[in-house]
Structure 1
């Protein structure tokens, strides 16, 4: 019995053994703790160990160079920075700026000048460009001569293409961004920044498997790539993978970003993940580090303060935003809302989005004042455009039908590409594809179209489109055409446009349970009457019935159904899927 008890005790003790993973992250965390306690000797030791574990990680090397500089060991710091540029990451141009600072601290002003000129040639608009130019002025004073300036250097072609792709992303042109970035990473497979932006392009368009594959490629080459880890955490949250999300969040919370760009990425990611105290700390830190903070940064701090129940502080920062950006509606909206939310219980107070724009609900409530159902600020909003892509990839039948119909009002090159791609999806409903064909026809997209219909890959010429239209839609299109023909010459373009809007909204609301069309002219007359009434024109149901040769009772019956479409708020009708 004693032997059994001893064996059990031994097994229990063995089970209690916890194996420590002495990897680079472990030593990095120890180094950061030592820095917080001003134990530079220990921090140096741990940063060296982190570099030994991951010698190809430039972040660890930069941290090592930084702590050596803090300790006054400037030459050693520059040796590490040269190693980064020669062996680890030749494109990490900020190393030239750090080397200039070290050289200046050693009173080697001419060498510092050389480093600064080199930095500005490579990064004329870089993070430290302004500081580098000021430092050149200071060095020129010390050397007793005119300040040196770098020679103009043409921007590298791959960098120009990457900036072009980023501008596409910011404008919501996700397919153009994807095309540009895919070509770029094929030519430069180790270009991690382009890979990370390609991940975002896939994510915005709902291509989650491709986004995950791209993140995997980045992390295979660079396991500590902050942008990729942040993107992975967001995907894990979206996929409901709580365990993986939790592991990533705990790792990211310990991260001490070296660059402002990394700090922004980490702060916004923490906000998206709902880790608002961490986001608040990082945004406040950015506010201290930025020389001339943009209004958007004060907004981020205000949102983080609000989401952590610091309401008075949020109010203070939104007032700053209002002073810095007086033409913006955003700070005024939130300051007004603060008065409303003041009466709410803590459980009722909403969690705010960090985006520097009005909330979607507020934007959509303003649409009632518009004659176009999708004004330019909505059409061009990247987040809203992204919601359309998501819905078309992941929504149910009715949601996808709504998106396809809304695409008619956006009608740009990207919409044509999306719809043409949708036609080739073998797993999509043929009725949805036929609606896509109808929208392509309406927006004037070039024919022929390729589509998978009834399980066959077919090519559809312009003269064949009518055969492929949904049967129910063909009849209802005749109603609209009849109405527009009878209105022609008597109404202006705004009235004609509203007729199309009301008709499209009516079809969207009632599909697939549309009323029977016994006589096209009856519905056409009702549509003309509703448009006239909307604009305060003098027109009776009796007169419009005579014009279309139908009874006034028929017109009245159809008018009641059409007016319901006018009363339904557009935000509920068109954008109900955004939360998906």
Structure 2
């Protein structure tokens, strides 16, 4: 023991050594980088014991377990994160998809990959998810005999998801080209027609978008998505009387499909039927609908215009944490007393 240590010891000056969750987490990361998997798991589990409510710790443990080949246990942890801790950690779906692929459970892998794409269309792992789906397409069947048609359907779904992602990113021309090609291959694929109309409208080709939507309704009477799009198109073009007529029809519809119900809530919010939108969103919330960025932003706008200011701020803060610039702007304006009611819109 050196002189300084002796002096500190005699004076009773003991420097506390705090071993908290973060300490063990960093130790786990350190051993993981050194490829010492067993030690990494040991320290990560210790970190979780001390800080069990941190979803990042759980996700890191699941990643280490996957590297070890314990895919089932890894997925159990990821499912727990999504179900019990943070339903907005959509990357868990992507990691589960990879684990299921390693286990040879290709249908489950596809399901998880689609879940990721649907909930996070502009996410970090979008391209990786699409690549995984393409790989799964070839892995599932080598002979292309009895299930050739099924494979074609799967590939079509991949193409559809890819084109829809282009709309979310603002790449409208790419989306238009891809949906047009899909329609050429499958003329009665109404979902592609509807998405093409949406891309056309956002690209400024308003009449073409309207014509496409009318065509869908002529050939597929009662197409719910087409009616929602047409309502929004009319409103954005200033044809509010026509939009409100359609909206009155939509208020009488209760879709069974949960995604259609969110589309209905979005449509009401866009045309400023905030009470109706808020009602649908609260029902979806009770059913634990995934809190995507669009859901959070829509909920915030609808709640704000229904007088639920604190609730609106809560959902805008959630959206801002996920990187939503519009939500950040609204919160900043509100904090500075500059927020104007007429500027709070969902579009």
Q: TM-score range by the shorter chain?
A: 0.5 to 0.7
Q: Is the alpha carbon distance of 1:235 and 1:320 closer, same or farther for their aligned partners in structure 2, counting shifts above 3 Å? A: closer
Q: Is the alpha carbon distance of 1:174 and 1:328 closer, same or farther for their aligned partners in structure 2, counting shifts above 3 Å? A: closer
2:333 maps to which of 331, 334, 337: 337
2:202 maps to which of 204, 209, 212: 204
Higher helix share: 2
Q: Distance in 2 between matches of 1:119 and 1:331?
A: 36
| Partner in structure 1 of residue 283 of structure 2 | 285
Q: Distance in 2 between matches of 1:284 and 1:124?
A: 25
Q: Give CA-to-partner distance per residue, 1:133-192, whole Å, 9 cap, x none.
A: xxxxxxxxxxxxxxxxxx946563322322222122222221221122112112211101
Task: Find the residue that maps to 1:350 and give its secondary structure.
Answer: helix
Q: Distance in 1 between matches of 2:113 and 2:249?
A: 32
Residue 233 of structure 1 contacts residue 249 of structure 1 at CA under 8 Å; is this kept in 2? yes
Listed as ranges, the matches of 1:126-145 within 5 Å are none
Q: Is the alpha carbon distance of 1:121 and 1:246 closer, same or farther for their aligned partners in structure 2, counting shifts above 3 Å? A: same
Q: Is the alpha carbon distance of 1:328 and 1:221 closer, same or farther for their aligned partners in structure 2, counting shifts above 3 Å? A: closer
Normalised by the size of structure 2, how large is the TM-score?
0.52
Q: Give CA-to-partner distance per residue, 1:65-88, whole Å, 9 cap, x none.
A: xxxxxxxxxxxxxxxxxxxxxxxx
Give 1:352 shift: 1.0
Please tell me the root mean square deviation across aligned C-alpha atoms, in Å: 3.2
| Partner in structure 2 of residue 298 of structure 1 | 296
Listed as ranges, the matches of 1:44-83 within 5 Å are none
Q: Is the alpha carbon distance of 1:124 and 1:220 closer, same or farther for their aligned partners in structure 2, counting shifts above 3 Å? A: farther
2:225 maps to which of 218, 224, 227: 227
Give 1:306 shift: 1.0
1:255 maps to which of 249, 253, 256: 253
190-199 vs 280-289, which moves further: 280-289
Show structure 1 runs of 5+ residues with no match.
Answer: 1-116, 128-150, 356-580
1:159 maps to which of 157, 174, 193: 157
Q: Distance in 2 between matches of 1:336 and 1:124?
A: 36
Give 1:202 shift: 1.2
Give 1:242 shift: 3.8
Q: Give CA-to-partner distance per residue, 1:22-47, whole Å, 9 cap, x none.
A: xxxxxxxxxxxxxxxxxxxxxxxxxx
Give 1:228 shift: 0.4
Give 1:263 shift: 1.6
Q: Is the alpha carbon distance of 1:254 and 1:180 closer, same or farther for their aligned partners in structure 2, counting shifts above 3 Å? A: same
| Partner in structure 1 of residue 92 of structure 2 | none
Q: Distance in 1 between matches of 2:174 and 2:336?
A: 42
Do structure 1's residue 237 and structure 2's residue 225 form an aligned pair?
A: no
Q: Is the alpha carbon distance of 1:241 and 1:157 closer, same or farther for their aligned partners in structure 2, counting shifts above 3 Å? A: same
CA radius of gyration, larger in:
1
Give 1:275 shift: 1.0
Q: Is the alpha carbon distance of 1:125 and 1:259 closer, same or farther for their aligned partners in structure 2, counting shifts above 3 Å? A: farther
Q: Is the alpha carbon distance of 1:294 and 1:161 closer, same or farther for their aligned partners in structure 2, counting shifts above 3 Å? A: closer
Normalised by the size of structure 1, how large is the TM-score?
0.33
Q: Is the alpha carbon distance of 1:341 and 1:223 closer, same or farther for their aligned partners in structure 2, counting shifts above 3 Å? A: farther
Q: Distance in 1 between matches of 2:298 and 2:241?
A: 28
Q: Distance in 1 between matches of 2:316 and 2:107?
A: 37
| Partner in structure 2 of residue 271 of structure 1 | 269
Task: Find the residue that maps to 1:200 and give its secondary structure.
Answer: helix
Task: Find the residue that maps to 2:197 and give its secondary structure.
Answer: helix
Do structure 1's residue 169 and structure 2's residue 167 form an aligned pair?
A: yes
Q: Is the alpha carbon distance of 1:163 and 1:126 closer, same or farther for their aligned partners in structure 2, counting shifts above 3 Å? A: closer
| Partner in structure 2 of residue 349 of structure 1 | 341
Residue 174 of structure 1 contacts residue 201 of structure 1 at CA under 8 Å; is this kept in 2? yes
Q: Is the alpha carbon distance of 1:353 and 1:283 closer, same or farther for their aligned partners in structure 2, counting shifts above 3 Å? A: same
Q: Distance in 1 between matches of 2:244 and 2:324?
A: 37
Q: Is the alpha carbon distance of 1:171 and 1:291 closer, same or farther for their aligned partners in structure 2, counting shifts above 3 Å? A: closer
Q: Is the alpha carbon distance of 1:212 and 1:338 closer, same or farther for their aligned partners in structure 2, counting shifts above 3 Å? A: same
| Partner in structure 2 of residue 85 of structure 1 | none
The total of aligned residue pairs comes to 211
Q: Distance in 2 between matches of 1:332 and 1:243?
A: 33
Do structure 1's residue 216 and structure 2's residue 208 form an aligned pair?
A: no
